[in-house]
Amino acid sequence: MTQDISLLPQHSDATELFFKRPQIHCLLEEFGGSIVPQMLLEEAQVMEVLARHPHPNIKILDHLFYDDASGIDLDRFECQCRDAIDYIHSLGLAHNDLNPSNIALDRNNDPVIIDWGSCKEFGELLLSAGTPGWIEDEFDVSRKEHDLYALDKIMAWMREEKAKCTNP
């Protein structure tokens, strides 16, 4: 997956930008930090693919985080997440790190999948993948099954949490 990377317009408003802050402290110990530039480049390349192939539940930097999502229609939420995941799978990509922290909400309370640092084409080796607690087993190859397992686990957790809020 090689292509040009879009450059930020020269007079952009820095207050409206999101700056990716990789957790390099984890990578410094294992790889001496040498892998960070490659990881950032690969995520930028995925973002370019997604920018050329838009989907309503895959947005570039138009999302919010909420501490309380008890008012969310979980059936609609799940349908939109599955549609977004099916869409990236149709592009031959797997996210490989779905977890509640990587699904934000837009202004309409629609899910927005974020953090594309582990997204790769099916079958590619991964530099990093999955968040402990949200994966079935450790893995190092990109596969859509990782996303499907994680989304099932996220939805089960969300239903359990919502039940606690409605039936204390």
Q: What is the pLDDT of residues 7-18, one digit of tens each?
A: 556 666 655 544
CA distance 157 to 83: 19
State residue 80's pLDDT score.
Answer: 96
Q: 94 φ, ψ to 5°?
A: -125, 140
State residue 87's pLDDT score.
Answer: 95
State residue 63's pLDDT score.
Answer: 44
Does 1.10.510.10 match the CATH number of domain 21-166?
A: yes
Q: What is the pLDDT of residues 91-150, one digit of tens each?
A: 999 999 999 888 887 777 888 888 888 899 999 998 877 888 888 888 899 999 999 999
Query: And the tokens for 125?
Result: 């080796």
* Average pLDDT, integer, range 84-92: 96
State residue 34's pLDDT score.
Answer: 61
